[in-house]
């Protein structure tokens, strides 16, 4: 087990040890945000015939090549109505957007470019030959793959699934996730206030971070720093696909999480990452494939580690290709002191300046100062080698608001 991996090495190690969940069928509306587990083939042509893209007149181009041209209106075709009359020479059919183009016609003239007078219509402006017609199969061609495996289901993708009548959609399943907070000092949300205790924030921070990814985790509560109790609760958590254990992974006298995981037969792949905050991070896997994260107890550290390591792992398990938070380049509004050796994730707010972003620290950056996280819009990533940055320097900022992810880490 190597000590002090870089953030990138730790991410790669984790991603190499988690696997994609099996497919499951979900109702169309529940598929939003999920990832297709197979290709989707069109079961029809759309549009099923040439349709008009405009309200206007279906004509033979040869009749209107020279304008003005006067034609006799022989039909009135609405969307959803099959035309019965062929458009012969010198004739036109009034047609609405989405209505089938009648036989004989090859062009649609916009109503704005015409003037109807009784049964006649004068075409004032001639469009190009074939204009304003959406050809059969322009949107979807029967039998063709229209969405491929691995596609993330956005509202636009969901609309295509509806068009091909996928009332049930095959997507990658979500992993089951258990969250366990550890520490003798912790007080649960439902317990009465004891002035000498520390309220358990991490269970709920991690819950919310999972929820934002579309996963409903199970809260296993609080385990005391006691190897027997810890063993029972960690063993319970190992029944899930992913176990997030918070606290007790450092070098303190009562930090029993790692030895207990060892005793439970977990293969620990690494412990400690060269980052700030969050360096006491442990990662392991069980024989049956459960992934275990030993997250640092400091609330900010735990949340930063979730974003850097847990979120990419969970997204990868759900079949996503975009695993990492979207980044932007921003200029610092102030100097930033730093020590070389660890990659630093500075919590920042962002503002606009012309066509760029300005990043400003959210204040005291202690790993226990949860407010620095609560108001953050992003993490400014300061390279491990950096000995500090000056106002005006450019930094990469990971965007924390919303659910915008990209393929590359960019850090």
Residues forming contacts to Mg ion in the complex (CB under 5 A) are 183, 247-248, 297
- Minimum CB separation of residue 29 from ligand AMP in Å reads 35
256 vs 357, beta carbon nearer Mg ion: 256
Among 248, 312, 319, 378, binds ligand AMP (CB under 6 A): 248
Among 50, 200, 338, 377, binds ligand AMP (CB under 6 A): 200
For residue 115, give the H/E element and its range. strand 114-117
Our finding on whether 297 is near ligand AMP (CB under 6 A) is yes
The gap between the terminal CA atoms of the chain, to the nearest Å, is 24
Positive or negative, the Cα torsion across 303, 308, 310, 311? Answer: positive
Using CB positions, name the residue nearest to Mg ion.
183
d(C-alpha 282, C-alpha 295), whole Å: 7
Using CB positions, name the residue nearest to ligand AMP.
297
d(C-alpha 185, C-alpha 225), whole Å: 9
- Minimum CB separation of residue 258 from ligand AMP in Å reads 11
248 vs 294, beta carbon nearer Mg ion: 248
Q: Write the secondary structure of 328-393 as one string of H (helix), E (strand) and C (coil).
A: EEEEECCCEECCCCCEEEEEEEEEEECCEEEEEECCCCCCCCCHHHHCCCEEEEECCCCCEECCCC
Among 132, 298, 316, 362, binds ligand AMP (CB under 6 A): 298
Residues sharing a CB contact under 8 Å with residue 372, sequence separation 6 or more, in sequence order: 300, 347, 362, 363, 364, 365, 366
Among 246, 260, 365, 409, binds ligand AMP (CB under 6 A): 246
248 vs 312, beta carbon nearer Mg ion: 248
- Minimum CB separation of residue 226 from Mg ion in Å reads 12
d(C-alpha 17, C-alpha 293), whole Å: 12
175 vs 247, beta carbon nearer ligand AMP: 247
Contacted entry of Mg ion, ligand AMP, none for residue 202, CB cut-off 5 to 8 Å set by kind: ligand AMP
d(C-alpha 332, C-alpha 30), whole Å: 41
d(C-alpha 273, C-alpha 10), whole Å: 7
- Minimum CB separation of residue 188 from ligand AMP in Å reads 10
- Minimum CB separation of residue 1 from Mg ion in Å reads 21
The backbone torsions φ and ψ at residue 38, rounded to the nearest 5 degrees and listed phi first, read -155, 165
Among 83, 284, 294, 299, binds ligand AMP (CB under 6 A): 299
247 vs 277, beta carbon nearer Mg ion: 247
């Amino acid at each position: 087990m190597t000590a002090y991996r870089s953030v990138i090495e730790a991410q790669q190690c984790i991603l190499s040890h988690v696997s994609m969940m099996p497919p499951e069928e979900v109702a169309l509306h529940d598929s939003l945000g999920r990832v297709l587990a197979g290709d989707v083939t069109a079961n029809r042509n759309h549009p099923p015939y040439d349709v008009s893209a405009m309200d206007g007149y279906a004509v033979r181009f040869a009749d209107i090549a020279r304008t003005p041209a006067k034609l006799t209106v022989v039909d009135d075709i609405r969307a959803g109505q099959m035309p019965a009359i062929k458009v012969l020479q010198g004739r036109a059919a009034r047609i609405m957007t989405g209505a089938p183009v009648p036989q004989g016609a090859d062009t649609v003239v916009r109503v704005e470019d015409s003037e109807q007078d009784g049964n006649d219509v004068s075409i004032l402006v001639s469009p190009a030959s074939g204009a304003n017609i959406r050809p059969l199969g322009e949107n979807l061609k029967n039998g063709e793959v229209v969405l491929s495996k691995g596609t993330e289901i956005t509202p636009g993708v969901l609309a295509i699934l509806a068009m091909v009548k996928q009332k049930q959609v095959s997507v990658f399943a979500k992993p089951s996730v258990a969250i366990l907070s550890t520490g003798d000092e912790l007080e649960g949300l439902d317990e009465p206030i004891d002035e000498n205790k520390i309220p358990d924030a991490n269970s709920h921070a991690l819950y919310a971070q999972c929820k934002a990814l579309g996963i409903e985790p199970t809260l296993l509560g609080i385990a005391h720093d006691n190897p027997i109790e810890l063993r029972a609760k960690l063993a319970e958590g190992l029944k899930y696909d992913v176990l997030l254990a918070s606290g007790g992974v450092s070098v303190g006298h009562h930090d029993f999480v790692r030895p207990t995981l060892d005793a439970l037969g977990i293969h620990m792949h690494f412990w400690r990452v060269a980052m700030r905050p969050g360096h006491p991070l442990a990662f392991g896997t069980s024989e049956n494939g459960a992934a275990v994260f030993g997250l640092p107890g400091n609330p900010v550290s735990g949340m930063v580690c979730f974003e850097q390591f847990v979120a990419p792992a969970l997204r990868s398990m759900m079949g996503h290709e975009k695993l990492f938070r979207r980044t932007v380049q921003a200029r610092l509004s102030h100097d930033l002191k730093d020590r070389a050796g660890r990659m630093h994730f500075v919590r920042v707010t962002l503002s606009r300046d012309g066509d760029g972003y300005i990043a400003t620290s959210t204040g005291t950056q202690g790993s226990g100062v949860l407010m620095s996280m609560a108001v953050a819009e992003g993490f400014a990533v300061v390279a491990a080698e950096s000995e500090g940055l000056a106002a005006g320097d450019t930094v990469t900022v990971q965007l924390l608001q919303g659910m915008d992810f990209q393929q590359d880490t960019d850090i």
